[in-house]
């Protein structure tokens, strides 16, 4: 291997520029073929390094978010849920609600795409460089209960304040214990006006006491969650159910 090549790759490794180490030779050939000057060549090398770092950061954020399945807004069938305000959803995709630390509440029966929309919003936030964390409501409660029992709740609180956006999926499907409900209240209250929440639920607000138990605590929680919130009521027939029926019809 030529000495110059060895030195260049050693320096790029020391500077932690792996993409530049992979592409500097091919870019040099392209620069020569296109009569680019030194500055233009250097710009090409640096642009590729920056773009790759940005892409790596986004992909790392998506992995750390913990989405069960990646969903995008492009794959959502708005025609199946005509009651859903498509322009309003697309505006939320721009992420301004996160920068304003506002919440999004998705309310509707099972199978209408609440989780799909929540995940798509979270995925787009990751692509915009924001920190996102996805939980099921039951999974979060279990994590909070375990942290309390192990005397690390204060440490965990610092972690749950870190994301720009937290998604709580499936609130309302399983009732919580008194302690679990209190911990959920603490979690949501601590993020009030400090970070955004997206919550999906099958319950209208008057029925939240069915899972939280205490009426006063439920009222206080709803007061915080709905303040400057974007509330989307998604009404319609489950399109998962319709897809299943369609498959059976096709087979028949």
* pLDDT higher than 80, residue 178: yes
Bin 103: left if φ > 0, else alpha if -120 < ψ < 50, else beta: beta
Tell me the whole-structure pTM to 2 decimals. 0.86
Checking if the pLDDT of 1 tops 80, the result is no
Q: Show contacts of 5-10: CB within 8 Å, 24+ apart.
A: none
pLDDT-above-90 percentage for the chain: 81
3-state secondary structure of 21: helix
Domains and CATH numbers, the chain: 3-65 (no CATH), 73-244 (3.40.50.300)
3-state SS assignment for residue 134: strand
Cβ 171 vs Cβ 203: under 8 Å: yes
Report pLDDT digits (tens) over 99-138.
999 999 999 998 899 999 999 999 999 999 999 999 999 9
Interaxial angle between packed helices 153-160 and 178-190, expressed in degrees from 0 to 180 and rounded to the nearest 10: 40
């Amino acid at each position: 291997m030529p000495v110059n090549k060895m030195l260049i790759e050693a320096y790029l490794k020391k500077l932690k520029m792996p993409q530049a180490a992979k592409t500097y030779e091919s870019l040099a050939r392209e620069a020569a073929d296109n009569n680019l000057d030194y500055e233009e060549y250097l710009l090409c090398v640096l642009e590729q390094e920056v773009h790759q770092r940005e892409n790596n950061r986004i992909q790392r954020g998506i992995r750390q978010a913990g989405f069960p399945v990646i969903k995008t807004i492009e794959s959502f069938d708005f025609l199946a849920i005509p009651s859903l305000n498509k322009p309003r959803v697309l505006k939320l995709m721009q992420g301004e609600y996160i920068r304003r630390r506002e919440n999004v509440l998705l309310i509707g029966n099972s199978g209408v795409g609440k989780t799909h929309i929540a995940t798509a919003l979270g995925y787009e936030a990751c692509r915009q460089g924001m920190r996102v964390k996805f939980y099921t409501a039951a999974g979060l409660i279990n994590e909070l209960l375990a942290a309390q029992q192990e005397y690390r709740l204060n440490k965990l609180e610092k972690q749950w304040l870190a994301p720009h956006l937290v998604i709580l999926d499936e609130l309302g499907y399983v009732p919580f214990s008194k302690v679990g409900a209190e911990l959920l209240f603490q979690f949501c209250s601590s993020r009030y006006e400090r970070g955004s929440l997206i919550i999906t639920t099958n319950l209208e607000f008057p029925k939240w006491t069915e899972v939280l138990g205490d009426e006063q605590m439920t009222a206080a929680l709803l007061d915080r969650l709905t303040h400057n919130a974007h509330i989307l009521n998604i009404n319609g027939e489950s399109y998962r159910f319709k897809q299943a029926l369609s498959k059976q019809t096709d087979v028949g």
